Amino acid sequence: MLNRIRRIGAVLAVLGLASFGGTAGAQDFSTTAEFAALMDFESGTMLYQKNADERLEPASMAKLMTIAVVFDEIRRGRLTMDDEFFISEHAWRTGGAASGGSTMFAELNSRVRVEDLLRSVIIQSGNDASIALAEGIAGTEETFALVMNQTAQRIGLENSHFTNAAGLPDPDMYSTARDLADLGRYLIREYPEHYHMFSEQEFTWNNIRQQNRNSLVEMGIGVDGLKTGHTNAAGYGIVASTTAGGRRLIAVVHGLDSMRERAEEGRKLITWGTRGFELLPIYPEGAVVGHADVYGGAEPSVPLVGNGKIDLFIPRGAQNCPQASIVYRGPLRPPVAEGTQVAELHVMCNGVLVQQTPLFAGRDVGEGDLMRKATDALKHLAIGWL
């Protein structure tokens, strides 16, 4: 299978966008973070990335998957906010005050409401609360990790694996900046009724007042979530989201040397994302962006559409911009199910990739008949796939 590229510059030219002018270079942004990603919430468009698909140790940002599982259990009616979970010796010893990590300070053998456990995980990053939730839902952390990975697969996280509920160091636990951004996007989109917890500034338990570890929440830059993380090996990281600038963005930075640097690099990426782009609408919801070849299908190709409308985010002052291509691994093999992501729209400015927008099959394409398969096979043998 080869990377198939279809240029759509002509389409952009018709829309009057092929010569968007200016004087500065494209994507004029840098960060000291080892890993970084900036995603448009509505479309899933990647506006900036640095080692976004390289594996990283997620640390406490893995708790976002723990939260996703808990929210799903509540939605399915298998759990309520008023249910109470037991604080086992494992939760108390591994995640409590004696462990030296972030903790809720829950008492051994006590019972704590799910809502309080959730607030601890979200606001204070309580390891004991995370473990208590895992054990309360699945019996053991090991079994809960299986549920975490099943949920990750359902969400579409392609390069993540979870082994515990708290994000404690484990060589088999990994994720990527892209997957963490996708996970944050999933939580915001699917559970708006609970999202307010992420912006709450403090949580008090056992007479101990605990501040939200996400310092960006109180900076006045529109940040209302999501989660920080830190281990000695991984460094400091954060998954943050903002609605400043009229649209929601999700930012990830990780691999930094201090809490101060984490806050500064997160702030820089968020601020640049909200101020550094011109937004240009190009395709309304449902519009066909292009087509992808289908080898041996009932139809020779499948139309490609966005997840809703597609906007271009052009760096302010960029020259020779945009130049756009549809990229996919193909030809595709049938059956192709409507709604499956099969391609990406890549936008370049001055030779720099400044945007990746997922594209989806606009309709089902089933298996072709013998004649179609034979014709496609002859094309492939004679001249390669066009």
Residues 174, 299, single domain; the answer is no
Of the pLDDT bands very low, low, confident and very high (cuts 50, 70, 90), residue 19 is very low
Nearest to 260 by CA among 224, 226, 235, 233: 235
Catalytic-role residue among 43, 102, 120, 125: 125
Three-state SS string across 90-155, please?
Answer: HHHHHHCHHHCCCCCCCCCCCEEEHHHHHHHHHHHCCHHHHHHHHHHHHCCHHHHHHHHHHHHHHH
Last residue of a domain, one of 180, 213, 246: 213
**What is the model's pTM?**
0.82
Between 30-44, 151-165, 260-274, 370-384, the lowest mean confidence (pLDDT) is in 370-384
pLDDT score at 321: 67
Query: Tell me, what's the pLDDT at 377?
Result: 57
- The catalytic residue among 63, 120, 160, 325 is 63
Which has the closest alpha carbon to 216: 271, 153, 290? 271
Residue list, annotated binding site: 227
Query: Residue 375's pLDDT band (boundaries 50, 70, 90)?
Result: low
Check whether residue 366 and residue 293 sit in a common domain: yes
Question: How confident is the model at residue 279, as a pLDDT?
Answer: 80
* Residue 384: per-residue pLDDT: 54
- 24-75 pLDDT, tens digit per residue, is 334 568 999 999 999 999 888 888 999 999 999 999 999 999 999 999 999 9
Q: How confident is the model at residue 13 (pLDDT cuts 50, 70, 90)?
A: very low
Whether 87 and 156 share a structural domain: yes
Examine residue 257 and state whether it is found in any structural domain, yes or no.
no
Q: Specify the range with the lowest mean pLDDT, choosing from 29-38, 164-173, 302-311.
A: 302-311
Whether pLDDT at 225 is above 80: yes
Least confident of 21-25, 115-119, 129-133: 21-25
- Within a domain: 286: yes
pLDDT at 22: 34
The least confident of 23-37, 131-145, 230-244, 258-272 is 23-37
117 is a domain residue: yes
Residue 353's pLDDT is what?
78
Domain contains 169? yes
Average pLDDT over residues 310-337: 81
Say what the pLDDT of residue 5 is. 53
**pLDDT interval class at 319 (50, 70, 90):** low
Tens digits of residue pLDDT in 329-355: 878 888 999 999 999 998 887 777 778
Which residue would you say has higher pLDDT here, 386 or 375? 375
pLDDT confidence of residue 23: 31
125 is catalytic: yes
Burial 352-378 (b: 16+ CB within 10 A, else e): eebbbbbbbbbebbeebeeebeeebee
Task: Copy the structure tokens of residue 30.
Answer: 């840098």
Percent of the chain exceeding pLDDT 90 equals 62
CB-hemisphere CA count at 13 Å for 73?
A: 22
Q: Is position 63 annotated as part of the catalytic site?
A: yes
- Residue 21 and residue 102 share a domain: no
The predicted structure's pLDDT at residue 349: 75
pLDDT top residue among 11 and 234 = 234
Q: Tens of pLDDT along 86-127?
A: 999 999 999 988 788 889 999 999 999 999 999 999 999 999
Per-residue confidence (pLDDT) for residue 42, from 0 to 100: 86
The pLDDT score that the predictor gives to residue 9 is 41
Among residues 163, 179, 213, which one ends one of the domains? 213
pLDDT at 370: 65
Domain count across the chain:
2
275 falls within a domain: no
> Which CATH number belongs to the domain containing residue 79 in this structure?
3.40.710.10
Residue whose entry in the numeric block shows the structure tokens 């830059």: 221
> Rounded distance, CA 170 to CA 351, Å?
39
> Which domain range does residue 286 map to?
2-26+281-383
- Burial group, residue 204, by CB count within 10 angstroms (0-12, 13-18, 19+): exposed
Question: What residues are designated binding site for substrate?
Answer: 227
Same domain, 19 and 132: no
Q: How far is CA 120 from the centre of its chain?
A: 22
